[in-house]
Amino acid sequence: MRMRKSEMAVLGLILLSFILAVFLYPYMPEQMASHWNARGEVDGYMSKFWGLFLVPFTLLGVGILFIVIPRIDPLKANIERFRRNYDGFMVIFFIIMLAFYAQVILWNSGIEISPNKIFPIGLGLLLFYVGVLCEKAKRNWFIGIRTPWTLSSEAVWDKTHKLAGKLFKIAGAVALIGVFFGRYAFLFILIPVVLISLYTVIYSYIEFQREIKEK
């Protein structure tokens, strides 16, 4: 199986996370802060092993999934039509996940950077690129807004994803604004994503029904 540059970059980032975990293991506290509430206060801890290695193992699993999907999708020829954007999303996703991992490590090293500052920026950038990916995505079984109606009609897929692309870009900008709202930052991420998800599902149904009536 020939590896793409983006896939090698992803595997390199995953390897980096394991290297960091091994190198930093002697320097971390036995109980590591691992979860923060909406106010940016620690409300959950893990053992040192899982505090350091949970993220690398999770990234490994997700990385394998990202690499396998374009190879097993029955419509993989369609994925190849937007593969450059998919590859870009992969790399950006893992860079952002490493940034979140770094925040955990820094906090447990005594440098307490609030996740309310890091998460809105990282997720805002990720949501914006989700918008880019949606605009380019072609019909497939794994990537995008996969409702019965988008999967049944190329036209409905394209209309739904063009709309979703614009909305997710706006959601990315809204998420970035959350940096200035402290404990309410998560609402600037959660609410737009939920609303867009619901709206695009309904939109795809309406467009499919319209298409049937026009036939």
* pLDDT greater than 70 at residue 191: yes
Same domain, 1 and 83: yes
Same domain, 28 and 94: yes
Domain match, 105 and 148 both: no
Report yes or no: 203 and 167 within 8 Å, Cβ to Cβ. Answer: no
In tens, the pLDDT along 138-151 reads 999 999 999 999 99
CA-CA-CA-CA torsion for 152, 156, 158, 159, nearest 10 degrees? -160
Same domain, residue pair 118 and 212: yes
Residue 1 binned pLDDT confidence (cut-offs 50, 70, 90):
low
SS3 112: coil
129 & 102 share domain: no
Map tokens 């999770």 to a residue: 58
Q: Quick one: pLDDT at residue 39?
A: 85
Distance CA 132, CA 150 (A): 18
Cα–Cα dist 203/36, whole Å: 35
End-to-end CA distance of the chain, in Å?
44
Verify that 6 and 94 share a domain, yes or no.
yes
Considering 79, 113, 147, which residue would you say is the last residue of a domain? Answer: 113
> Do residue 131 and residue 97 come from a single domain?
no
Indicate whether 2 and 106 sit together in one domain.
yes
Residue 52 is encoded by which pair of tokens? 């350091």
Q: Tell me, yes or no, whether 47 and 67 share the same domain.
A: yes
pLDDT in tens, 87-130: 999 999 999 999 999 999 999 999 999 999 999 999 999 999 99
Residue by residue, what is the 3-state secondary structure of 63-74? HHHHHHHHHHCC
Domain boundary among 70, 89, 113: 113
One domain for residues 176 and 89? no
User: What pTM value is reported for the model?
Assistant: 0.93
- What domain range includes position 102? 1-113
**In the numeric block, which tokens belong to residue 44?**
């959950």
- How far are the Cα atoms of 31, 113, 156 from residue 42, in angstroms, in the given order? 12, 12, 45
Residues 6 or more apart whose Cβ sits within 8 Å of residue 215: none
Q: Give the DSSP letter of residue 179.
A: G
Q: Tokens 């619901």 — which residue?
A: 198
Q: How many domains does the chain have?
A: 2
Which residues are registered as beta bridge partners of 47?
31
Q: DSSP for 81-143?
A: TTHHHHHHHHHHHHHHHHHHHHHHHHHHTT----HHHHHHHHHHHHHHHHHHHHHH--S-SSS
**Helix and strand element counts for the chain (H, E):** 8, 2
105 and 120 in a single domain? The answer is no
Mean pLDDT across the chain, nearest whole number? Answer: 96
Asked which of 93, 113, 133 is the last residue of a domain, the reply is: 113
**Same domain, residue pair 69 and 13:** yes
